[in-house]
Amino acid sequence: MYDPQKVELRKVVAPPYDVISPEARKRYCSSSAHNIVWIDYREDKPGEDKYEIAAALMDKWTDDQILARDTAPAIYLLEQEFVNHSGELKRRKGFIALLRLENFKDGAVFPHEKTFPRQSQDRLNLLRATCAHFNPVLALYSERNGEARQVLDAVAANSKPAIEITDEDGVVHRLWRIMSADHIEHLRAIIKDRNIFIADGHHRYETALAFAQGLRSQCGEFHGDEAFNYIMMCFVRMEDPGLEILAAHRLLNDIPNFS
């Protein structure tokens, strides 16, 4: 977690790496020497290993306590408040936690996108260098009874967020630590046996699988609870009233004999 006493939080956060244009990257970098894109989305420069530089930078931020590990395990409630295209105020709630990695063929985690080797290799190189996940995978699950939302609503109603910022698109992000053992166990029980659908983050998930498989082959014996067997995910209910999935429009050009 960033230490809000040492950095201005709105100047150090950024969207997932794969939606950041080169122009936006420069803007984020100029906003703060500690913006996460300095690690997560470094430029290629001749003669430099950008992944090793990213790892060294992360180590320095950790040593300087710019980034500080929380003192106890937690699940993190994330609320995103935004105005949709129809002018309605929406609040999407989810929670950030670890998911034990599973191969797609095992039938519990479902993808829907084709991935590209170049992007996967980029993420794998960064993961090998830093041993850290910088972008949570966005995952959807179905839970019609709304028990998870009740837990999240109770946390939000009874405590102040640890982080609250408004990004350049006007989206308000609020983050709470969920440290109650009862709340954590309740959320674990809700999600445990459900199907998980990757909404965004296919390259990140496949990269984590490749990273874990490589370490398993190296260590020979493993018990399954090692950190590399897990990935950071943001879980959102399909029935959440703040969840909106928009059409992905594509423009096709220069098609022969087509008006």
- pLDDT digit string, tens, across residues 113-172: 889 899 999 999 999 999 999 999 999 999 999 999 999 999 999 999 999 999 989 999
Are residues 142 and 194 in contact, defined by beta-carbon separation less than 8 angstroms? yes
Which pLDDT score, from 0 to 100, does residue 184 have? 96
pTM equals 0.91
pLDDT digits (tens, 9 = 90+) for 204-258: 999 999 999 999 888 777 778 899 999 999 999 999 999 998 887 888 888 898 8
Q: What single-letter amino acid sits at 128?
A: R
The sheet that has 75-83: what strands, in order across it? 109-110, 196-200, 137-141, 230-237, 89-100, 75-83, 172-178, 163-166
For the stretch 74-123, pLDDT in tens is 999 999 999 999 999 999 999 999 999 999 998 899 999 889 899 999 99
